[in-house]
Amino acid sequence: MSSPSKRREMDLMKLMMSDYKVEMINDGMQEFYVEFNGPKESPYHGGVWKIRVELPDAYPYKSPSIGFVNKIYHPNVDEMSGSVCLDVINQTWSPMFDLVNVFEVFLPQLLLYPNPSDPLNGEAAALMMRDRTAYEQRVKEYCEKYAKPEDVGAAPEEKSSDEELSEDEYAASDDEEIAGKPDP
């Protein structure tokens, strides 16, 4: 296996080559945002979420930390913090997995097949178990309200611009952004 530092580069590279929009912070590889689209054939279809990815020092031995930045109504996602309760990205993570797996498989599966038996958002779980239609309705309302493309374009922490930036612009804007930004 490659050295851990190279694994970061390769994983990030593969993610971008799979056409994910990756927004890096000052060209750093520790922490970045990835745009994630709700899977077709799920009530989350049409929603766009900005996912915060943090690669710990021990990555890939330790799992990446994944969180929804804009709100989502889902039994296994904490409404307040956006934390995800999913075994493959927590307890059963393996260094064989990479970021493409997370965005291509794990997260779509989570949205397609929520697991109300181990809820983090108990309310969503209860609703899903009792009234699937009402639950899907609620999901869509949340998407409409919090997960439109413009909601991910205007990142609360890093961006002040309202426009959605393209991938190239994301990457390119880094230097200028630092230069133009007053010290926090």
Partner 1 sequence: MLPRKRAGEGEVVEGESENNNNSNNIKDIAVTSPIKKHRFSAAAAADLTANNNTVAIGNNSSNHSSGSVLEPTIMAPGDANHNDIDEDLHSRQLAVYGRETMRLLFASNILISGMNGLGAEIAKNLILAGVKSVTLHDEGVVELWDLSSNFVFSENDVGKNRALASVQKLQELNNAVVISTLTTKLTKQQLSHFQAVVFTDISLEKAFEFDDYCHNHRPPISFIKTEVRGLFGSVFCDFGPEFTVFDVDGEDPHTGIIASISNDNPALVSCVDDERLEFQDGDLVVFSEVHGMTELNDGKPRKIKSARPYSFTLEEDTTNFGTYFKGGIVTQVKQPKVLNFKPLREALKDPGDFLLSDFSKFDHPPILHIAFQALDKFVSELGRFPVAGSEEDAQKLTSIAANVNECLGEGKIEDINPKLLRHFSFGSRAVLNPMAAMFGGIVGQEVVKACSGKFHPLFQFFYFDSVESLPAEPLDPSDFKPLNSRYDAQISVFGSKLQKKLEDSKVFIVGSGALGCEFLKNVALMGVSCGSQGKLTITDDDVIEKSNLSRQFLFRDWNIGQAKSTVAASAAASINPQLKIEALQNRVGPETENVFNDTFWENLTVVINALDNVNARLYVDQRCLYFQKPLLESGTLGAKCNTQMVIPHLTENYGASRDPPEKQAPMCTVHSFPHNIDHCLTWARSEFEGLLEKTPAEVNAYLSNPVEYAASMRDAGDAQAKDNLERILECLDREKCETFQDCVAWARLRFEDYFVNRVKQLIYTFPEDAATSTGAPFWSAPKRFPHPLQFSSTDPSHLHFIMAASILRAETFGIAVPDQVKNPKMLAEAIENVIVPDFQPKEGVKINTDEKDTSLSTASVNDEAMINELFYKLELCKNNLPSGFRLKPIQFEKDDDTNYHMDLIAALANMRARNYSIPEVDKLKAKFIAGRIIPAIATSTAMATGLVCLELYKVLDGAHKVEDYRNTFANLALPLFSMAEPVPPKVMKHREMSWTVWDRWILRDNPTLRELIQWLKDKGLNAYSISYGSCLLFNSMFPKHKERLDKKVVDVAREVAKAELPPYRSHLDVVVACEDDEDNDIDIPQISIYYR
**Could you tell me the strand order of the sheet in which 65-68 lies?**
22-24, 31-37, 48-54, 65-68
CB of 2 to partner 1, least distance (A): 5
The rounded distance, in Å, linking the Cα atoms of 132 and 65 is 29
Closest CA to 50 of 12, 10, 107: 107
The rounded distance, in Å, linking the Cα atoms of 68 and 102 is 13
Site string for partner 1, 111-130 (x = CB under 8 A): -----xxxxx-xx-xxxxxx
Q: Does residue 85 carry a catalytic annotation?
A: yes
**Residue 49's beta-bridge partner residues?**
36
Comparison of 37 and 76: residue with beta carbon closer to partner 1: 76
* C-beta separation of 151 from 33 below 8 A: no
Run of H or E including 134? helix 132-146
Number of residues forming the site for partner 1 (CB under 8 A): 59
Q: Which of residues 76-105 bind partner 1 (CB under 8 A)?
A: 76, 78-81, 83, 85, 87, 90-91
149 sits near partner 1 (criterion: CB under 8 A): no
Closest CA to 55 of 24, 91, 18: 24
Among residues 6, 18, 149, 161, which is the contact residue for partner 1, using CB under 8 A? 6
Among residues 40, 62, 105, 161, which is the contact residue for partner 1, using CB under 8 A? 62
Sites of contact with partner 1 (CB under 8 A): 2-6, 8-10, 13, 16-17, 24, 26-30, 57-58, 61-62, 71, 76, 78-81, 83, 85, 87, 90-91, 116-120, 122-123, 125-132, 134, 137-138, 141-142, 145, 156, 168, 171-172, 174-175
